[in-house]
Structure formats: structure tokens, C-alpha cells
Structure 1
Amino acid sequence: MGCVTRANLDKQPQEVAAMFDDVAAKYDRTNDVLSLGQARAWRRAVAEAVGAGPGDLVLDLGAGTGTSSLPFAEAGANVVPCDFSIGMLAEGKRRHPELALTAGDATRLPFADDSFDAVTISFALRNVHRTEAALAELLRVTKPGGKVVICEFSTPTWTPLRTVYTEYLMRALPPVANKVSSNPDAYVYLAESIRDWPDQPTLAALMQQAGWQRVAWRNLTGGIVALHRGFKG
């Protein structure tokens, strides 16, 4: 798999994992640049939506290097960062040896039923081969009454912003990635995967079909990103 530089939109797990292995060292810095500094604000919004406190057990799926898990640990929760990219996890362990970084596939999580008070996934659900299977697995490992918070790129609600955003994704993002990323081709896939991802109501419907209840969403940055929330009955 060493020759793989980017994945395709069929999102074969081995290809996606290899692509993220390749960008692990510079991934967080590149995201800050490409998001124009918004990535940190989005992480704060996720932490607030999850609302984890001391004693809560939180699964942070697609955690990569563990950066997204830090707010939960700082709030006193017990957080399990989980990702299927060994390269990302290795980089995370180097930076944050205190975190319980765990390897796992979103469609076959290595956790028992009803384990977590809250589960969350940020900017990773669209990279999973089978979205519906991942949503069902998240439900399986959540305790009754627990919640899911999904933070993912979405569809801007204002038409002019949507046009500008699409142009940025497909024209400006790759050249910027070429300057700051160790694997610019990976960001071509990421731009395509964002453009191909369902809008807010469609993702909400998929969550409901998986069994999540009281599903709702909140737009961030004009709908460029959306926070979806649901509860396990």
C-alpha cells in the first residue's frame, strides 16, 4: 500500500487508511490552514455539544492524532480516541502519550454493547465505506439515554456562499494543500468527498434509519459544517 497517495470515492478502507497514514505528521497543521483557522472553533463546538464531564466515558471515533479528544480529557471525561489509520495513531501517541488511543474500524467497533455515555465523530464519517453501518455501530456501543454528536462538512445554506465554497474546494484547496501538505493528492480526494457528501436533512434521515432518536442539527459557518445530534432510546 506504500504507493497509494489518495483514495477514491468508493472509500475502500485500506486505501483511505493508507492515505491518512501518509499525511499524519502534518495533518492537524494543514487542516488549520485549509479551514482558515475555523477548525479549532469547530472542535470547541463539538465539545460543547457533547457536554461530557467528570466520570463520563466518551468514544471519539475518527480521532486521528487525538487532537479532537483533548477537550474531553480536559473536561475530566474518560475519552477513548479511536481511528483506523495506524499512522495517525502513532503520531498521536508521540504527541499525547496520556491518551488511550485505540485502533478500530467504524463499521466493526472493538467495544461492547452499551459502553459509552457519548460517542462523537468529527470530519471522518464521510470517509467510512458504509455510512449506515457506522451509524448503527455507534448506536450499538452507546448506553441507553446516551448521545451521538457528528461534526461533518455539509451544504452551505446561502446560495452565494455555496457557490464560493464549491469553487474554493475544487480550485483553491489543491494548490494550498500543495504548499502545506505532505500529500497534496490526498486533499483532492478530501475536496471530492466533501462535495459528494449528503446535505443536512439527508444525514439526519440516515441517523433516524439507524435508530437514533430526537435527531437535530445546527449549522456552523453558514452550513459549511453541521453538527448533528441524536440520542439512544
Structure 2
Amino acid sequence: MTRASLDKKPRDVAQMFDDVAEKYDLTNTVLSLGQDRFWRKAVTRAVDARPGERVLDLAAGTGTSSMPFHEAGATVVPCDFSVGMLREGKRRHPELPFTAGDGMRLPFADGVFDAVTISFGLRNIADPGVGLAEMLRVTRPGGRLVVCEFSHPTWKPFRTVYIEYLMKALPPVATKVSSNPEAYVYLAESIRAWHDQPGLAALVRDAGWERVAWRDLSGGIVAMHRAFKPLDR
């Protein structure tokens, strides 16, 4: 696997996720000490999917993040570039229309979704700016974007402890619970190299979104950015 110096080759990254699909949700819960459930609930509230709306859940993996939108009465399309993830997701949730797609070339028409959301997947797109522009393209004017992604803890002493956990504690834990612990070394490196909160906000804004704001979760370990497509786009 290419290291997360962030020479991210889509085929390699997709293969990495194929390899961890079966235990992916369990591993995330263990490594995040259960915080992943809190983060998913925050995203669900921010998207605020309503009956009859169309929601694109990008980097949806096995569809765990998609189910709340489905249960709210929205038409949700879980999309991912990992065929292994999609296969596992379809086994668990046969009622959902899982769709294979590259974040930089989404297989959807212009302006078809009321909301687009991506959780912990934007940093794995080879060019996140292109991915954000694609999300803008498939969203209707006035539609909304919710990005939940690892970020930089806001309290400096805790930030140091957090980085130590990522690089030293995470790989041994992953060895015990994951079928591909090396993948989690890549993920730890990609988190460390990722934008801070203002940096990601600027990236979202540069892609054409407006009214960009963010909310820190778990002390800034995760940040949830929200934005809207201009009405004149």
C-alpha cells in the first residue's frame, strides 16, 4: 500500500478497503472507543434528511451511515469505490441501491440530489478539491453538503497525545481486530497529513460552495463541515 504521503492511487486505496470490508465497522468502533456512533448521529442531524428528498452518501462503505436517511423516508444512494465494501453492504442492507463510483467522476446527472454527505472519505479521494466540485455538480441549487472528517484537536496538549495514539497505539490495536492492519497504518498517516478545520473550509469554499461553517466533535478529533450550493449555480 502506498504510504499516505498522499500519493493516493485510487486502485490501491479501493483494494485496501476491499480487504477490510467485513470487519470495517467493528474495527472503527473499537479504534474510536465508540465515538464513531456519536459522529454518525451528528451527521444524521446535520443532513436532516426528509421524506421525498434525495441524499447521496458518498464513501458510504457498508451502508451503516446510509440507514438513518433511509429510515427518515429519504431516497438515499450509498456510493463507494470499493467493490468489497459495496458487496458487504448489499449483503447487510439489500434494500439500499448501492452504487459503485469514483469521487472525482460521480456517475450521476447534474443537480439530482438535495443533499450530499461524505464521512471519513474525502481525504481518500486522490484530489479532494475535484471531489468537492463533483459533489457540487450533482447537488441541486440551494442543496446542502455535510462533510465529516478527521481533523486537528483544538487543545494543543491533547493534540500531542492524539498523534501519539494514532502512530503508536492504533496499529497494534488494529492488528488484533482487523484483517488488514497495514491499512490502518495508512489511515493513521492520512489523518495526520490532513487539513485542519480552516484549511478544509477553504477547500470547500474554493470548490464553489457557500456559507461554509464547521463544528468540532470530540475536541476537534473530528470536524463536521456544512455548506450550501449557491442558488445561481
Same fold (TM over 0.5): yes
Give the equivalent residue in structure 2 for 1:186. Answer: 183
Give the equivalent residue in structure 1 for 2:228. Answer: 231
After TM superposition, give the deviation of residue 161 of structure 1 in Å. Answer: 1.1
Whether 1:38 and 2:27 are equivalent positions in the alignment is: no
**Distance across 1 between alignment mates of 2:98 and 2:107:** 13
After TM superposition, give the deviation of residue 7 of structure 1 in Å. Answer: 3.8
Whether 1:209 and 2:209 are equivalent positions in the alignment is: no
Give the equivalent residue in structure 2 for 1:136. Answer: 133
**Distance across 1 between alignment mates of 2:69 and 2:198:** 28
Unaligned 5+ runs, structure 1: 1-5
Which residue, 3, 12, 17 being the options, matches 1:8?
Answer: 3
SS at match of 2:51: coil
After TM superposition, give the deviation of residue 74 of structure 1 in Å. Answer: 1.0
Whether 1:95 and 2:97 are equivalent positions in the alignment is: no
- Equivalences for residues 1-233 of structure 1 within 5 A: 6-9=1-4, 10-233=7-230
Aligned-residue RMSD, C-alpha: 0.6
After TM superposition, give the deviation of residue 8 of structure 1 in Å. Answer: 2.6
SS at match of 1:113: coil
Deviations 1:25-66 (A, max 9, x none): 000000000000000110000000000110010000000010
**Distance across 1 between alignment mates of 2:135 and 2:120:** 15
Which letter does structure 1 place at the counterpart of 2:3? N
After TM superposition, give the deviation of residue 120 of structure 1 in Å. Answer: 0.2
Unaligned 5+ runs, structure 2: none
SS at match of 2:76: strand
Equivalent residues, number: 228
Which letter does structure 2 place at the counterpart of 1:85? S
State the identity as a percent.
72
Deviations 1:80-139 (A, max 9, x none): 000000000000000110010000000000000001000000000000100110000000
Which letter does structure 2 place at the counterpart of 1:182? S
Conserved? CA contact 1:7–1:19, under 8 Å: no
Conserved? CA contact 1:156–1:222, under 8 Å: yes
Which letter does structure 1 place at the counterpart of 2:50? G
**Distance across 1 between alignment mates of 2:47 and 2:94:** 23
Deviations 1:65-86 (A, max 9, x none): 1011011011111100000000
After TM superposition, give the deviation of residue 219 of structure 1 in Å. Answer: 0.2
Which letter does structure 1 place at the counterpart of 2:58? L
**Distance across 1 between alignment mates of 2:87 and 2:80:** 11
**Distance across 1 between alignment mates of 2:102 and 2:195:** 21
Deviations 1:125-154 (A, max 9, x none): 000100110000000000000000000000
Which letter does structure 2 place at the counterpart of 1:92? G
TM-score, normalised to structure 2, is 0.97
SS at match of 2:170: helix
SS at match of 2:110: coil
4+ runs deviating over 6 angstroms:
none
After TM superposition, give the deviation of residue 206 of structure 1 in Å. Answer: 0.7
After TM superposition, give the deviation of residue 160 of structure 1 in Å. Answer: 1.2
**Distance across 2 between alignment mates of 1:174 and 1:111:** 37
